[in-house]
Amino acid sequence: MAKSLENRFDAVEISEAERYLDAVPPSDIDPRVERLVNQLIGRVADKWTMLILELLEERGTMRFTQIGRAVDGISQKMLTQTLRQMERDGLLTRTVHPVVPPRVDYALTPLGNSLSAAFCGVWVWAERNLDMVEAARARFDARG
């Protein structure tokens, strides 16, 4: 990981006032858990993962090319890559049918379904607050 800001001022002399201002209550989260959670969220919160998650939740089992067509803008490379990751994480199953032409079905696992449900709140928030964010951006950009 990067050299954090942690040590940038550790060695410098600071006044009592500064010490007070910078004092922070200790985090009440287990650092080990926090690290793992961050890693996990970083993975699942990726753009394509979320879109595929929602897609499969909505439509059920789908084939490779179907997903590719449904997810706007995704390249076949990222599609393959994202599906592999999701399979590895246990979010979906990959079923190869031994026929020609090949047919591969993808479907969410219960774990995938539960993650989709957990993300639901974020989707709802986004839909509900789109205008708020747009307005905030406009105001911000209107200033310098």
Partner DNA sequence: CTGAATCCAAGTTGATACTG
Partner DNA sequence: CAGTATCAACTTGGATTCAG
Give the residues lining the site for DNA (CB under 7 A).
Answer: 1-3, 8-9, 12, 14, 18, 22, 46-47, 63-66, 73-78, 80-81, 83-84, 94, 96, 101-104
Residue 136's DSSP bridge partners are: none
Would you count residue 107 as binding its own copies (CB under 8 A)?
no
Distance of alpha carbon 136 from alpha carbon 130, whole angstroms? 10
Residue with tokens 């047919």: 103
Could you tell me if 112 and 56 are in contact, meaning their C-beta atoms sit under 8 angstroms apart?
yes
Two structure tokens written together for 64: 């490779």
Indicate which single residue of 13, 96, 141, 142 sits in contact with its own copies (rule: CB under 8 A). 141
Interaction mask 110-129, its own copies, x per CB under 8 A: -x--xx-xxxxxxxxxxx-x
Two structure tokens written together for 19: 């010490």
Indicate which single residue of 11, 16, 20, 73 sits in contact with its own copies (rule: CB under 8 A). 73
In the chain the first and final C-alpha atoms are separated, in Å, by 34
Side chain identity at residue 85, one-letter code:
Q
Least Å from the CB of residue 128 to DNA: 26
Q: From the centroid of its chain, how far is CA 143?
A: 31
Considering only residues 9 through 68, tell me which ones interact with its own copies, judged by CB under 8 A.
Answer: 9, 21-22, 24-25, 27-28, 31, 33-38, 40-42, 44-47, 50-51, 58-59, 62-63, 65-66, 68
Least Å from the CB of residue 96 to its own copies: 13
